[in-house]
Each structure stands twice: as C-alpha cells, then as structure tokens.
C-alpha cells in the first residue's frame, strides 16, 4: 500500500492565502503522506518478523494514527477550499444547518467560537452517520477528539502553520478568510 501526494495547486491564488503560505502547507502535508507510508511499511515488516510485543511496535501503531490523520485531515481541508460562492441557501446543507443549529448564522457563530478557542488543532463539522445530526467539534492534535462513527463535513486547520505566515497571531482574521473561500459544493457533497 502506498498513499500518493495529491495536488492542490488549484487553490493557489485564493484571496487571503498567500502562495507562500499554501506551498509551505502543501510541503507539510507531503511529509504526512511520506510518513504514513513509512510507518505502515515498518509495521508490516515488524508484524511479519513477529515483533509485535516490542515497545517500538506499539509506538509505531500509535504514530500511524498521527501521520494518517495528518494526511487525511489536510486533504479534506484543502478540498473544502477554493470557491467564492456562498452556501446554497435552499440546498440540503443549509437546511440541515438550520435544523440542527437553528439557522446558518447560529451554526457559523458556533463554528467560529470553536475555531477561536485557545490551542492548536482542528475544527470539524461532523455528521453522525447513525443519527444524521451535525456537530462542531474541536480536535486536539490530529488523533485526539474525533467523534466515532461521524463523517467530516467541513474541516478547518487551526495549527499555527495554517495562518502564521500571513496573519501572525491574528487567528480571527484567518478564520474570516477561511469562510470567504469555503467550497460549499464540496462540503454539501460530503453530507449524507
């Protein structure tokens, strides 16, 4: 198994995101893909050699979640960027946000509040695969805080590398730019 680096050059030139910031971010993402493949290959070799009770095997198993989620979350993040169109108000996503949050504005204010919390991590709008309900969730690191049985609908990276180059410590300004560039069609297509 080998994961391939995906090309997200189509989002270069977005308003509020310098090409330098995005290219640096793409390079970081490429590292997650590379490390996902390396850790996976090491785990397969260790398993074949019967080295599954060693502390190194256990630590690599834990590390795989970090690298894999770092890879996948960046892909979801880059995918849900690159459009200037507003959310389709009569669309199924807007209706679902209204149903679960009392309206788009209520959802947006909650999502932005979560994104503004102190700390590094991710903010994800999830949909519960069983109940269908939408939740805004803080993810600490890449592998801590995910809601089991839920699908990421909208992903926002709030690690400093996602905004420091362009915004310094002004995370709130970065969040505003993020909202100006959400590709709502991609987000709506993720909704079940």
- Extents of the domains making up the chain: 18-79, 92-190
Joined together, the tokens standing for residue 71 give: 């890879």
Which run of H or of E encompasses 34?
helix 19-48
**Which pLDDT score is estimated for 143?**
86
- Residue 145 pLDDT exceeds 70: yes
Q: What is the pLDDT of residues 40-86, one digit of tens each?
A: 999 999 999 999 999 999 999 999 999 999 999 999 999 999 999 99
Q: Taking the domain 18-79, which CATH number applies?
A: 1.10.287
Q: What is the pLDDT at residue 116?
A: 97
Whether the predicted pLDDT of 191 surpasses 70? yes
Q: How far lies 99's CA from each of 7, 94, 152, 179, in Å?
A: 35, 9, 18, 21
Report the pLDDT averaged over residues 113-119.
96
Q: Is the pLDDT confidence value at 150 over 80? A: yes
Q: Could you give the CA distance from residue 71 to residue 93 in angstroms, rounded to a whole number?
A: 26
9 forms bridges with which residues in the sheet? none
How confident is the model at residue 171, as a pLDDT?
96
The alpha carbons of the chain give a radius of gyration, in whole angstroms, of 18
Q: Is 170 left (phi over 0), alpha (psi -120 to 50) or beta?
A: beta
Nearest Cα neighbor of 115 from 167, 63, 75 is 167
| Strand bridging mode 134-140 / 150-157 | unpaired
CATH of domain 92-190: 3.55.40.20
pLDDT over 90 percentage in the chain: 96
User: C-alpha distances in angstroms, 22 versus 9, 133, 162?
Assistant: 9, 32, 8
- Cα 73 to Cα 56, 62, 98, 169, distances in angstroms: 25, 17, 25, 22
Max CA separation in the chain (angstroms): 57
At 20-45, the pLDDT tens digits run 999 999 999 999 999 999 999 999 99
pLDDT for res 1: 65
Compute the mean pLDDT over every residue in the chain, rounded to the nearest whole number.
96
Q: Does residue 91 carry a pLDDT above 80?
A: yes
């Amino acid at each position: 198994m080998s994961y391939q680096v995906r090309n997200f050059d189509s989002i270069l030139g977005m308003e509020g995101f310098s090409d330098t910031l995005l290219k640096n971010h793409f390079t970081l993402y490429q590292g997650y893909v590379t490390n996902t493949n390396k850790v996976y290959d090491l785990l397969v070799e260790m398993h074949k050699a019967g080295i599954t009770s060693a502390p190194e095997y256990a630590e690599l198993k834990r590390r795989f979640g970090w690298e894999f989620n770092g890879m996948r979350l960046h892909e979801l993040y880059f995918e849900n960027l690159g459009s200037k169109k507003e959310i389709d108000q009569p669309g199924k996503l807007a209706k679902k946000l209204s149903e679960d949050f009392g309206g788009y504005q209520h959802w947006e204010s909650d999502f932005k509040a979560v994104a503004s919390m102190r700390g590094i991590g991710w903010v994800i709008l999830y949909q519960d695969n069983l109940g269908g309900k939408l939740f805004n969730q803080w993810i600490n690191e890449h592998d801590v805080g995910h809601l089991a049985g839920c699908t990421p609908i909208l992903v926002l990276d709030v690690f400093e590398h996602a905004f420091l180059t362009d915004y310094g410590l002004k995370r709130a300004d970065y969040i505003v730019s993020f909202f100006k560039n959400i590709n709502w069609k991609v987000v709506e297509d993720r909704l079940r």
